[in-house]
Structure 1
């Protein structure tokens, strides 16, 4: 009898853990890059949450799976990725695919959008850019833990001098002050920042350094990352994608960002 009670008592903590996981999975929490308009940005009215095209897209998935998805502000983009690495958040509302990230993230197919990454320079800079090697020997800047695709990331690590800062606004400020020769960032978010904050004296260069698909992803260590939940998410995601809502969502949220962002 004593042995029986010891076994039962030993199971109690596990039962509480299972119950806790089940409770948590009645809702999912997503973080994202807070400097990524019109896809994502920090709400001016509610600083604890994010708004943008990706939030609107997740709301449609929410309606399909009947499980609440809350998109919250989780700190800088670097901090968001660390939270996902250790399973302290369920979803990231938009990320490129890299081999390193695949170690701790499940990628939900298909991609929600394709993004272009551009080089930004001082508008008076005579830099003639047509290929990656044209950037060798020049000092560049981007945001911490940003990726621009596996191929360019590998090339940049071996051949380019690119520093990182915590925010896109800080990166643009360094470019304008002449502390760096070029800035690398995705086209839509960078243009949104330039327009909204009236950043003058800069220009983007063609061709794009990379064109990469943007995915919804789930943290592998999230208590909710079960096969059943992933299957529900993918099924809902594919159903929503058939409606092709992202072009309209991006247009609507670009206007919203310009009107209401801080």
Structure 2
């Protein structure tokens, strides 16, 4: 319930104080369920999402005195539709697109930038320093990746970049010699390499080929979308960017996801 009875009583008794604090006591957010370290389903409670985006949003909501639930709403397209429709208030890992500007108010600055790196087998002879080095080589990238439109256009025109089912299959294809290089995120890629036992076999370049921003985005049709909430979230994102505080959160959640993957892998072994 967006506006509770005690809120109405507060407005009646202390209008200036309560109106300054916004008009929403509870927010419902969602995100892609398979985008570590930003968001993924909680193995302990699959109805909920966990990850770096969830941690940042929960911390901001706590400071603002607003309760928030970050819930699983289905695959990414379903999660996006739940927020576009206003049935959920916030998308916690939105990528900025022109089409979604009609439905979502993006909170600036970005929560983080998702560095996509070029990964290759140890000892590879690919002399990668820029994107111009990749044409003519066989590449692979997860079909679930969310690159910027500029990189997607460049890849479609100049690169031989085959889609893999997910990040795990992307890195396994590279390790097995089915591709010369892979394009994969920095943190999720490193965690997946460790979880798959590929340390020392697969390595990453430090030069990012793409850096899509990851944003908090509020549904324009959300009953909670007002200037106070947008402003307060923007303030929190500005503080986070200035402090560099997102990096330890990303690293902590990448390690968390890696440990969960290793635990699940061990559980299915005979």
- When normalised by structure 2's length, the TM-score is 0.73
Partner in structure 2 of residue 230 of structure 1: 230
Partner in structure 1 of residue 104 of structure 2: 105
- Structure 1 unaligned segments of length 5 or more: list them: 1-19
Q: Secondary structure of the residue that 1:89 maps to in structure 2?
A: coil
Partner in structure 2 of residue 47 of structure 1: 46
Partner in structure 1 of residue 211 of structure 2: 211
- When normalised by structure 1's length, the TM-score is 0.74
| Alignment CA distance shift 1:255-1:233 (3 Å) | same
Q: Secondary structure of the residue that 1:250 maps to in structure 2?
A: helix
| Aligned residues: CA RMSD | 3.2
1:122, CA displacement in angstroms? 3.1
1:194, CA displacement in angstroms? 1.2
Partner in structure 1 of residue 189 of structure 2: 190
| Alignment CA distance shift 1:190-1:100 (3 Å) | farther
In 1, Cα distance between equivalents of 2:128 and 2:242? 38
2:241 equivalent to 1:246: no
Does structure 1 conserve the Cα–Cα contact (< 8 Å) formed by 2:144 and 2:166?
no
| Alignment CA distance shift 1:83-1:157 (3 Å) | farther
1:61-106 deviations in whole A, cap 9, x for unaligned? Answer: 1113322222223344454344444444322222343434434332
Q: Secondary structure of the residue that 2:114 maps to in structure 1?
A: strand
2:196 equivalent to 1:202: no
1:110-129 deviations in whole A, cap 9, x for unaligned? Answer: 22223321012333542222
Alignment of 1:102-181 (within 5 A): 102-144=101-143, 146-181=145-180
- Structure 2 unaligned segments of length 5 or more: list them: 5-23, 265-270
Higher RCO, 1 vs 2 (CA within 8 Å, ≥6 residues apart): 1
Aligned pairs, how many?
A: 243
| Alignment CA distance shift 1:32-1:164 (3 Å) | farther
Partner in structure 2 of residue 5 of structure 1: none
Does structure 2 conserve the Cα–Cα contact (< 8 Å) formed by 1:61 and 1:240?
no
| Alignment CA distance shift 1:61-1:161 (3 Å) | same
In 1, Cα distance between equivalents of 2:157 and 2:143? 17
Does structure 2 conserve the Cα–Cα contact (< 8 Å) formed by 1:106 and 1:217?
yes
Partner in structure 1 of residue 267 of structure 2: none
In 2, Cα distance between equivalents of 1:166 and 1:142? 9
